[in-house]
Every structure is written in C-alpha cells, then in structure tokens.
Chain A
Amino acid sequence: MVRYERKTVVCLHVNGSRHELAVRPSDLLLDVLRDQLGLTAAKPGCKNGDCGACTVMMDGWPVKSCLVLAVEAEGHEILTVEGLGGTAAVQKAFVDANAFQCGYCTSGFLMVCHALRTQHPVMPEEYTVEEWLQSNICRCTSYEEIRKAVDIMYGGGGG
C-alpha cells in the first residue's frame, strides 16, 4: 500500500520519459506538469473540469489534468502535446484546417482529438465525434474548423 504524507518523491511517466518529482499529495497533475516539468501545453483555464484546456492523455484516454492528483498518475502513461512531437496527424490536421484563433484551447483540443483517434482508429460515427469534442470549450468559437480538422486527421478532406 502507498501512503504519502507531506512532500514526497514520486515517479511519473510523461511523454515516454521517467521523472522523479517531489510533490505534495494534494498537488494537481496540471500544476506539476507545468511548474515542475515545464510542460506548459496543458493550460490552466477554468481549473474546474469544465473547459478542457488542461486535457492530457492518461493510458490513451483523455483526462482533465486539473482534476487529477499528481500522485494518482503514478504507474500511468501521461501524454501531453509536447509528446506529440509536432508532426502528429492531429497537429498537421489542425494547421491544415486553421483550427485555432487565439490558441489557448488548442492543446486541449489536440489531446482530446488524438485520444479519439487512439481509441477509434477508424472514423467513428458523428455522434461519437460530437460527444468527445463537447468536452472542450473554444471561446473564439473555432468549432467548425476544429470539426474539419477531425475529418482531416482521419484522412478526409474536411469538406
């Protein structure tokens, strides 16, 4: 059994690398990614699980890192936008579709779309795409372009 009290060193697997980090049990994964690992793609937005700007992947599924304790991430594979490497299909699709304006929500959308393709390698039905995308908010309302990017990510034309 694990028992952590006060600041403790834990091992997190992030973007394929192992990191030993000193965290408080109440530290949030979002804050540890940004402040300790310098991985600032996950954005603090509402910090209440509503906006999705802080979305990362945990074992292939999307999670809002503002609602995950860093200590909970032990033993799981965490993937952030930095781990996509800049050349992932989802990143290229967002560029091709101009699927951003201010860009603050982009990394969250990238991760939820990348997770969608990870869990559904073949383009799922529209209801499923809509359901996944509804987890994130774009205040610049680039929703149409983001939806187009999903089509492009799956090899379609986005039209």
Chain B
Amino acid sequence: MIPFDFIYCRPDSLTEALDTYRQLEAEGKSPVYYSGGSEIITLCRAGGIRPGAVVDIKRIPDCLCLFPDDQGLNLGSACTLNQVKESKHFPLLGTVCGRIADHTNQCRITLGGNLCGSIIYRETSLPLLLSDAKMTVFGADGLRTIAFKDAFPGRMHLRPGELIVQIHVPSRALRAPSSHVKRTQNEKIDYPLVGVAAIWQDNVLKIAFSGVCAHPFRSPRMEAVLNDHGPSCAARADKAVSLLPKPAYSDVRGSAEYRVFVLRNTLEALLEDWENGQI
C-alpha cells in the first residue's frame, strides 16, 4: 500500500490538466503529472516521493494519438510502450520499448513516463535523439513544438507545469536501417549495463547510449570517430570509448570499467557488422 493520501485528478483536456496542476500547486499540493504510474507508485511506496496530488493525463485524447501522416509519426505521450511496439511504425523505437521492463509492465509504462522518469536509463530517448524528433508540449504559453534534443540533454527539461503532449518523428528516420543492443548483467529483463541504439542515414552512423554514463547521450565526437573508415573497427571502438562525454556510470550492476569494456566490445561488433554489410 501507499502509506499516505494524495489527491487524484483525471482531466479530459490539456487545458483542464494545466489548470488543475496550477491550482493544486497553488494549494501547496506538489502535484505530479501521472501517466502509466509504475514509477510514481513504486517511489510513493518506497518513500522516495510524496506528492500531494497526481494529475492523470491518460484520458486526454491529444496524449493518446498514434498515427503516421505525410510528415512522419505522431506519438501521444500517454501511449504505452506496448502500443508503440505493436504499432510497428518505428521499428527501432518498438524494439527499444520491447526491452524495457517486462511485457506486462510495457502494457502500462508510457512513452512520456519513460522519458520523464527519475530512473536514469530513459531508454526510449535513444531513437528520438537519433531521428531529429520534435516534441509538442503544453504549458502557460499554450502549445509549443521544440526539438527533442534541446529539451532532453540527458533528462527532460520542461517549464514548470508543462507536460509532453506528443512526439513527432520525421518519416525519413522511421525506416532507416537501425540496430539496438542492450547488454544486461545477467537477466534479459534488467536495466542496461550498456544500451546502444543506432541508425544509418546516407551511410552515416548516428548512435546514442544509455546506461554508459549517468544519463542517455549522443556524442558528435564519438560519432565522428566511429564514422571514420580509415582505422580498424577495433581502433575506432577503442578511440570512441575514450571520448565519453561524462565519467562512466558505476553501480552494483557493473563498475565503470566493466561498462566501458562492454561498450567497447559492443561498438567493435556493431562496426564489424556494418563493414560486413550485415546492417
């Protein structure tokens, strides 16, 4: 059980959601937007957070869309990982969604929840960092559309009271050749020691990482090294891991040294597959 009370609100529109959030904030209730709820419930039970109110956005139609148009793919923030995966519109994102938690939890965890969560991995961000995705958010200034990479330098940065409405992925990225590798300590279902997502556009590799550092990232310096076809795959992998933008992450699942070791080998194998035409 959750050992304290909170207020539960379920708005039907974006305006209602924002008004409710602001009102609750004015009442001193420290509200949080709530979607799949897995992380919020877990943290409430464990004493990690104590919101005075939750604002459930799951029944706001704008947050539930999932459709392609001539610009690309539109994904509502309250779409579940399973819905994203089953839709098959963006195979790389679907594959990533299919490796987060387990299948039953994928039926609850939402795209917006994974991106905004406090758990550091936020794996759904990787395909979005690679695909020039945009994001529509709603807040005091109404709707605004921003580049995903600008709002997500490793974790979501939104203005107070803002919520993610939709993610937009350009058509070009949806069917680009791609690869996803997730290395875990032991079990298939676990947080990543190393998570790598890659796409190739015009034979140029774009690559993003989770689990390697304390936040997901994409590094132009690492990409430049990996795209330089002169040196061997091994040499490029060695050089790339020396250019991590932040210190490697270390915890009970794997030391920093081990994560770098796993990353280096993963990159070498990925480059060899690319060189051998297996991508």
Contact = CB atoms under 8 A, between A and B. Distances in A.
Interface of A: 1-6, 24-28, 31, 47-49, 52, 55, 61-64, 66-69, 71-72, 112, 131-132, 134-136
Interface stretch (B5-13, B119-127, B192-200, B234-242): B5-13
B262 to A, nearest CB: 22
Contact residues on B (Cβ < 8 Å of other chain), bracket? 20 to 34
Given A2-B9, A26-B44, A28-B2, A64 B103 contact: no
Interface of A is mostly: mixed
B275 interface: no
A85 B10 CA distance: 33
A26 B5 contact: yes
A67 B7 contact: no
B104 A4 contact: no
Contacts of A48: 42, 45
Interface string B166-191: 00000000000000000000001100
B20 interface: yes
B273 to A, nearest CB: 21
Contacts of A61: 82, 107
B31 to A, nearest CB: 12
Nearest to A26: B2
B38 interface: yes
Contact of B1 (A25, A28, A71, A131): A28
B8 A64 contact: no
A112 B6 CA distance: 30
Closest 8 CB pairs of A and B: A25-B8, A135-B104, A135-B102, A2-B10, A26-B2, A62-B104, A4-B8, A61-B107
Nearest to A50: B102
B270 to A, nearest CB: 22
Contact of B56 (A49, A67, A72): A72
B214 interface: no
A61 B82 CA distance: 10
A143 to B, nearest CB: 14
A49 B105 CA distance: 7
Given A49-B38, A66-B41, A134-B188, 9 more contacts: A1-B16, A4-B8, A5-B7, A5-B8, A25-B7, A49-B42, A69-B41, A72-B37, A134-B102
A63 B38 contact: no
A67 B8 contact: no
B108 interface: yes
Contacts of B189: 134
Interface centre among B5, B45, B56, B107 (most CB of A within 10 A): B107
A63 B107 contact: yes
Contacts of A135: 102-105
B104 A25 contact: no
Contacts of A47: 45
